[in-house]
Structure 1
Amino acid sequence: MHEIEPYYRWLNFYNSAEDARSPYHGKEYNYDMYSDTIYGYYIDPAWDYLGSETLYNKLLFVDYEKGTAVIELMGEWNDAINNDIMHFKRNIIEHMMREGISKFILIGESVFNFHGSDDEYYSEWFEEVEDSDNFSEPGWIAGVNFPDFIKDELSNYNIDLYINLGGELDVVNWRTMAPKRFCEFVDGLIQRRLN
């Protein structure tokens, strides 16, 4: 598990530790010391703690002008025991929404398991980003490249009512795109779905 790194080739475009509006502003990373674990397995020190024992994230890119954030996730998403969505929403998402972010792209390739519970936090998040009174335009939540069995589990708990998943959102080549281009690409896919 320690070999799974968050995508780092966009660091020239965005670094959450250097972004004064980021929840991770000022964080110092020691890439030689592995201290965070999931179920006793060390994880790469570049992952950021979001309040959960089993789910970590990395803010890969934020475009405040367009109101878009790209967040990579890693670990086990466990709403049943740890209420991970509560931690994620309260500690990361709400911070970003206060900064004007209404479009969230979640990269789920490194989510290994999902244990669902109720959908209240997802519903709340969805309603908040859709509310155009809070933002310049209504937002959305997109899940990119989640494994099929995770998408099935999310669907079993009706989370797919709030997070757009699957189909063209399984963007195999997202790493070959510049971050703004990737955000525009996903926005285009979502707009097509909404229309």
Structure 2
Amino acid sequence: MHELEPFYRWLAYYDPSTDPNSPFEGKEYNYDVYSETVYGYYLAPGWDYIGSETLYMKILYADYEEGYVVFEFIGEWNDALHNDIMHLKRNIVEHFELYGINKFILIGENVLNFHGSDDSYYEEWFEEVEDGWIAMVGFRDFVLDEMKNFNIDSYVNFGGTLQIDNWRTLTPKIFYQLVEQQIQRRIGE
């Protein structure tokens, strides 16, 4: 896992350590020290701790005018043992909601497992975004299947046309527009 790094190409557009509205503003990264682990496996130093023992993230982009943010995740999403959705919701999502963010894109190619509990935090998050939405992109099929078993798909958009494999080839704004377009099609159906 130490070789799986967060996507760095968008740093030219956005750096969470220099964004005064980011929960990671001012964080200094030492790319020579591997200190964070998931189940004893070291993570690349670019990932950020959100309060969970098993799930780490990177804020790839935030656009306060358009009201959206893009997160990338690594590890195991474990609501059953570690209440990862609570950590994400309380420590990261609510922070961005204070700045008018109501559209959330979660990239989960490096989420290796999901253990569900109840859907109350997802429901709360869904209700708070009002005119916005939550979209999961690139999560593995078996992870999405488990999420469906816990009714997460009632609150979060995922699967189908949101499995955008080429997202890394796009700029953040083009990627957002593509996700927005897919969400609007779903809402219109």
Please report the TM-score for the alignment, with normalisation by the length of structure 1.
Answer: 0.96
In structure 1, what is the equivalent of residue 164 of structure 2? 171
- Paired with 1:105 and 1:62, the residues of 2 have a C-alpha distance of 10
SS at match of 2:158: coil
Tell whether 2:40 aligns with 1:40.
yes
Runs of 4+ in 1 over 2 A off after TM superposition: none
In structure 2, what is the equivalent of residue 157 of structure 1? 150
What are the superposed Cα offsets for residues 137-162 of structure 1, whole Å, 9 maximum, x if unpaired?
A: x1000000100000000000000111
Question: How far is 1:99 from its partner?
Answer: 0.9
Note the residue ranges of structure 1 that are not aligned, 5 or more in a row. 131-137
Tell whether 2:104 aligns with 1:101.
no
- Paired with 1:100 and 1:59, the residues of 2 have a C-alpha distance of 16
In structure 1, what is the equivalent of residue 86 of structure 2? 86
Tell whether 2:122 aligns with 1:122.
yes
Question: How far is 1:101 from its partner?
Answer: 0.5
What are the superposed Cα offsets for residues 92-144 of structure 1, whole Å, 9 maximum, x if unpaired?
A: 000011111000000010000000000000000000002xxxxxxx1000000
- One-letter amino acid matched to 1:128: E
- Paired with 1:162 and 1:58, the residues of 2 have a C-alpha distance of 22
In structure 2, what is the equivalent of residue 30 of structure 1? 30
Q: How many residues align?
A: 188
Question: How far is 1:41 from its partner?
Answer: 0.8
- One-letter amino acid matched to 2:167: W
- Paired with 2:151 and 2:28, the residues of 1 have a C-alpha distance of 38
- Paired with 2:66 and 2:77, the residues of 1 have a C-alpha distance of 28
Q: CA RMSD in A?
A: 0.5
- Paired with 2:24 and 2:177, the residues of 1 have a C-alpha distance of 24
In structure 1, what is the equivalent of residue 111 of structure 2? 111
- One-letter amino acid matched to 2:183: I
- Paired with 1:187 and 1:150, the residues of 2 have a C-alpha distance of 22
Question: How far is 1:84 from its partner?
Answer: 0.5
In structure 2, what is the equivalent of residue 10 of structure 1? 10
Question: How far is 1:178 from its partner?
Answer: 0.5
What are the superposed Cα offsets for residues 47-89 of structure 1, whole Å, 9 maximum, x if unpaired?
A: 0000000000000000100000000011000000000100000
In structure 2, what is the equivalent of residue 74 of structure 1? 74
Note the residue ranges of structure 2 that are not aligned, 5 or more in a row. none
- Paired with 1:157 and 1:93, the residues of 2 have a C-alpha distance of 21
- One-letter amino acid matched to 1:178: T
In structure 1, what is the equivalent of residue 139 of structure 2? 146
- Paired with 2:159 and 2:142, the residues of 1 have a C-alpha distance of 11
